[in-house]
Structure 1
Amino acid sequence: MKTTFFTPLVARLTIAASLFCLADGHAATLVNNVKGYTLDEAGKRISFTNMVIEEGKVLALDVQPDNHHIDEVIDGEGKVMLPGLIDAHGHLLGLGANLLEVNLRDSKSAKHAASMVADYAFANTTQDWITGRGWNQELWSDRAFPRAQDLDNVVSDRPVFLTRVDGHAAWVNSKAMALAGITKDTPSPVGGEILKDSDGNPTGVFIDNAAALIEAYLPSASSEIYEQQLHAAGEHLLANGVTAMHDAGVNREVYDFYLKEAVEGDLPVRIYAMISATDPDLKTLLANGPIRDKEDFLSIRSVKAYGDGALGSRGAALLSPYSDAPHQHGLLLTQPQDMAPLFTTVIGAGFQLNYHAIGDKANHVALNEFEKTFAAIGGSELRNRIEHAQVIAPEDLARFAELDVLPSMQPTHATSDKNMAEDRIGKDRMKGAYAWQTLLESGIPLPLGSDFPVELANPFYGLHAAVTRQDRDNQPVKGWYAHEALTIEQAFKGFTLDAAYAGHMEDTLGTLTPGKWADFILVDQDIFNIDEKDIWKTQVQATYIAGKNVYSK
């Protein structure tokens, strides 16, 4: 299918013929005195000491300056140069929102989290709703889900809506439930669960699709709010060396917002956006065709679908019951009868389908549906993906390579989940869990990301977790199921070339080789020649996109 360069939008947005033209003509820039690393097109690591940039793209590496007309010289001061890192799965505006609302990631208990909410509410008296994200009961001493009463004790006059760290549960106060009309008689929706106490009263925690019962009453996001979120997230990513990201699930409003920002040249990082499969306008957006702007700041040619929930909230769909909750199998968010029409619609439109699947059942049914769809209408060449692919039945591991379905994985999920994953699924099922090396050895590329704001956005945390299978306190000492660890070269490829490939962007992104965009970072240490335990400590000194400095420390 031919990719459209914004032409579906001509009726709504006037796009000048000079869109994204470079103002500085053919001026060449030399970046010298660097310890540079990149991959070649075969994925082999190469090193260099200087780079020439022309019209925002790499012209050559390791040149004799006298052989080129150089208009500007950037002294790298001996720092390490790497390609700009690509996060293959994140939530851009979600990160921005997280940076602008109460952050509960460091809460020690439900009471502590509630006190953080109280402090935020006191400092933001004009907000009609108090929102936040980051709580994780698995890190609290009692490991128990919080309750509405915890919040009622500190904020009772305004509704409170707090998203769990994984985005698959919400904790609310009584005011929020009252506004939404939630009572003991409210049934749990398909694909969701309202947690209730022994008397049948809602406790204040809503799992997966049940959270939508409350979300429907949240204030609608405005373009102004999107702007604030976009630029807060952009500044954060650039400071951490991320120059491109795959936005895993955008609705029609965000789709239009990104198009507007791209036309105005105001996107801070490169975005590969996945349309949300649940958006009512999905077929209309598919009919627009793939979109890719000429400067590669925005590409839209994929759809994010939702298979199940998360392991921490026991929403991940499992083939057998949870080991620590024998009455639970998790939740399928897309029902089996709806899968075939969805796969046929998306893949039939020539769009890549990226299917969220964490539990072994969700992964199994997704692989089955991909296989059936390919046999019926083709589409395996679209580089379809399973997002997360965390717990896989061992017999399904080889099917990713057999079907050319990419496992898009997030290394810090393993180090965050190590304290509860085996409790949830038992030791036997761990054979197919967080199986990075096994999948890579099967012959399939392994795009890596962070799933921010579920995890922190710093890609060096992901590189460290991928290589060590340890948290940043070096635990466990020998690594968690360390046989599935990656080498630093494999992990680096996951955050560069494999991520670019997963977004159909390897022709212009992912490496610092001639003809590709000069997206690069300067960092303070050589990640290929240091103790692996120190990779996460890497600090970004400067970030460049298309040869232009967009962040300096």
Structure 2
Amino acid sequence: MKSVAIMLVSVVGFLLSFQPAHAKTHYFHNLKGYTLTGEPGNSAKLHTFSAMVVRDGKIAAVGHPDDLLAIYAIPAEQHVDFAGKTVLPGIIDAHGHMLGLGENLVQVDVRDAGSEQEAVAQVVAFAKSEPKDWIVGRGWNQENWDVKQYPTAASLDEYVSDRPVWLSRVDGHAGWANSKALELAGISKDTVSPEGGEIIRDKDGNPTGVLIDNAMALVESKLPATSQASRRQALTAAFEHLVSEGITSVHDAGVGTKTLQVYQQMAAEQQMPVRVYVMLSAADPNLPALLAEGPQTTADDVLAVRSVKVFTDGALGSRGAAMLEPYSDDPHNHGLLVTQPDEIERLYQAIIGHGFQVNIHAIGDRANRIALDTFEQTFATLGGRNLRHRVEHAQIVHPDDIPRFKELNIIASMQPTHATSDKNMAEDRIGKARMQGAYAWQTFLQQGTILAAGSDFPVELSNPFLGVHAAVTRQDRGNQPEGGWYAHESMTLEQALRAFTLDAAYAAGQEQVLGSLEPGKWADFIVLDQDPFAVSSDKLWQADILATYVAGKSVYQRD
């Protein structure tokens, strides 16, 4: 590990001469600092430091205390002693769902249920204290239950039949309704499954209560409308939760007009303690007008709008991921295309034509191939190759298509905890042969593809050190499986931290202002209770955040 004495180089005089007279300066010292520096990707270097100077919200210098104090005269009352604790750049989650997280914090959460019956019991307990007409929640996953099969409306009806119940699967690509919700949605034996969706039925053709992908809209269209005040409340709750976990920036995957308006208001009022890089929702009917406004970024880099989230397929757990060959455990099923190829092509043309980045959800190998084919075709006719387009998830990729990410300059936006969550079912779904291109982090990194890491919260828990641990060990928190799951695709600790900081910033076109603790960049950093480079890899997920700073200002301090 290379230690840097002082990262001032020849820019010291420049920085000093252009600092405003009123600039607020702080000197942070007695710390163990780590940051990736230089160009994003494989050429980035890990540097260490023991002190840093922050002026007017940005890094002025990092290095050794003696060197910094020889240059900067900073009053003692502006010194902050970190008592030898570890400092890292603020974590950037490159794929999350802010509104979903905030709502999840106040809805029934059945993530930890070990069976259908246990999930129902949690709903019943929640319903006793919930006065609203609808009972809404999220988190069920039949793959974690003792009986690994879809739940039914009947099990909910036994205890809650007078009010509609709607529970999204943990991945957000399936929903579980009771009969009251099905009735309100007009779903019966005669209802035809919509394109890109499926109504699960019993042997007699009756709806069981589970809806896949686009079929979910049949129920969700009947949910009570969310007010702007409720949106703001949810986003505020999400912000408070994320800063406590060391996350200083989020790429919000799929933002509609009304949520964007709340963000814009909160940014104007300086009420956003977390930076947000917005991916507009391709499904928003106002998308043409939003694209016409062009990419936008606030002066303080708190809010940026320059990308669009497009959906190709569903998720692996619900067998909605679009596959080139049938599912190994469902030989008549190839998954679902949520958006048809001709519509994807139309969206690419519109998005790229307005100078926006395309961030396309693709989980199955067919979906990834469609995403790449459409990029190739669009670049040939329209250009736009330099906009740093991304495939969100890139989860199951045919080995022939992995090199195309590098050839087409496509970023792989991947979520490490998906591997450790999926390890109990992925091979059942697609068979061992197709695992060659699954969760293939190291393969992407070795060919020079930029990998931006995230969590996909609230699909997964938002704690980024669960992601760092999964990336390095390919194990769950119980250290299973022994030796790691397809461990040859694991990342080094340095690669994992880079994916959650510098490379994630690059994936948003923000590496000049975020992602590392270098002079001129915003002073977004976190203080940890443990040094990730000094603990065994199985302890990485146990890191606790002592403090979170955004633009040099404390936004979280642990009690």
Distance across 1 between alignment mates of 2:155 and 2:93? 36
Q: 2:380 aligns with which of 359, 375, 391?
A: 375
Q: Are 1:36 and 2:37 an aligned pair? A: no
| Superposition map of 1:290-305 within 5 A | 290-305=295-310
Distance across 2 between alignment mates of 1:291 and 1:34? 36
**How far is 1:449 from its partner?**
0.3
Q: Which residue is equivalent to 1:197? A: 202
Distance across 2 between alignment mates of 1:497 and 1:87? 11
Residue-by-residue CA offset, 1:371-408 (whole Å, 9 max, x unaligned): 00001111110000000000000100100000001110
Contact kept in structure 1, 2:61 and 2:68, CA below 8 Å: no
Q: Are 1:27 and 2:24 an aligned pair? A: yes
| Superposition map of 1:269-348 within 5 A | 269-348=274-353
| Superposition map of 1:456-495 within 5 A | 456-495=461-500
Q: Which residue is equivalent to 1:60? A: 61
Distance across 2 between alignment mates of 1:393 and 1:39? 31
**How far is 1:238 from its partner?**
0.5
Count of aligned pairs between the two proteins: 531
**How far is 1:204 from its partner?**
0.4
Q: Which residue is equivalent to 1:534? A: 539
**How far is 1:349 from its partner?**
0.8
Q: Are 1:424 and 2:432 an aligned pair? A: no
**How far is 1:339 from its partner?**
1.9
Q: Which residue is equivalent to 1:48? A: 49
**How far is 1:529 from its partner?**
2.1
Q: 1:414 aligns with which of 419, 425, 433?
A: 419
TM-score normalised by the chain length of structure 1: 0.95
**How far is 1:338 from its partner?**
1.2
Residue-by-residue CA offset, 1:455-501 (whole Å, 9 max, x unaligned): 00000000000000000000001100000000000010000000000
Q: What SS is found at the alignment partner of 1:327?
A: coil
Contact kept in structure 2, 1:383 and 1:404, CA below 8 Å: yes
Q: 2:192 aligns with which of 182, 187, 194?
A: 187
**How far is 1:25 from its partner?**
3.1
Q: 1:228 aligns with which of 227, 230, 233?
A: 233
Q: Are 1:83 and 2:76 an aligned pair? A: no
Residue-by-residue CA offset, 1:310-332 (whole Å, 9 max, x unaligned): 00000000000000000100000
Q: What SS is found at the alignment partner of 1:75?
A: strand
Q: What SS is found at the alignment partner of 1:79?
A: strand
Gaps of 5+ in 2: 1-18
Distance across 2 between alignment mates of 1:198 and 1:361? 29
**How far is 1:235 from its partner?**
1.1
Amino acid of the residue matched to residue 41 of structure 1? G
Q: Which residue is equivalent to 1:155? A: 160
**How far is 1:231 from its partner?**
1.4
Amino acid of the residue matched to residue 58 of structure 1? I
**How far is 1:552 from its partner?**
0.8
Amino acid of the residue matched to residue 148 of structure 1? A
Distance across 1 between alignment mates of 2:429 and 2:135? 32
Q: What SS is found at the alignment partner of 1:33?
A: strand
Q: Which residue is equivalent to 1:349? A: 354
Q: Residues 24 and 145 from structure 1, CA distance in 2 versus in 1: closer, same or farther, beyond 3 angstroms? A: farther
Distance across 1 between alignment mates of 2:325 and 2:121? 39
Distance across 2 between alignment mates of 1:546 and 1:398? 38
Contact kept in structure 1, 2:168 and 2:174, CA below 8 Å: yes
Q: Residues 403 and 259 from structure 1, CA distance in 2 versus in 1: closer, same or farther, beyond 3 angstroms? A: same
Contact kept in structure 2, 1:231 and 1:268, CA below 8 Å: no
Q: Are 1:97 and 2:103 an aligned pair? A: yes
Contact kept in structure 1, 2:62 and 2:68, CA below 8 Å: no
**How far is 1:268 from its partner?**
2.4
Distance across 2 between alignment mates of 1:153 and 1:178? 16
**How far is 1:73 from its partner?**
1.0
Distance across 2 between alignment mates of 1:75 and 1:358? 46
Residue-by-residue CA offset, 1:277-331 (whole Å, 9 max, x unaligned): 0111111000011110011110000000000000000000000000000010000
Q: What SS is found at the alignment partner of 1:394?
A: coil
| Superposition map of 1:363-402 within 5 A | 363-402=368-407
Residue-by-residue CA offset, 1:482-534 (whole Å, 9 max, x unaligned): 00000000010000000000001111100000000000000011111211111
Q: 1:123 aligns with which of 123, 129, 135?
A: 129
Q: Which residue is equivalent to 1:444? A: 449
Residue-by-residue CA offset, 1:9-54 (whole Å, 9 max, x unaligned): xxxxxxxxxxxxx999312100011001111113211000000000
Distance across 1 between alignment mates of 2:193 and 2:514? 44
TM-score normalised by the chain length of structure 2: 0.94
Residue-by-residue CA offset, 1:520-549 (whole Å, 9 max, x unaligned): 000011111211111001111110101111
Q: Residues 127 and 26 from structure 1, CA distance in 2 versus in 1: closer, same or farther, beyond 3 angstroms? A: same
Q: What SS is found at the alignment partner of 1:434?
A: coil
Contact kept in structure 1, 2:189 and 2:205, CA below 8 Å: yes
Q: What SS is found at the alignment partner of 1:32?
A: strand
Q: Are 1:261 and 2:258 an aligned pair? A: no
Contact kept in structure 2, 1:84 and 1:520, CA below 8 Å: yes
Distance across 1 between alignment mates of 2:337 and 2:22? 53
Q: Which residue is equivalent to 1:4? A: none
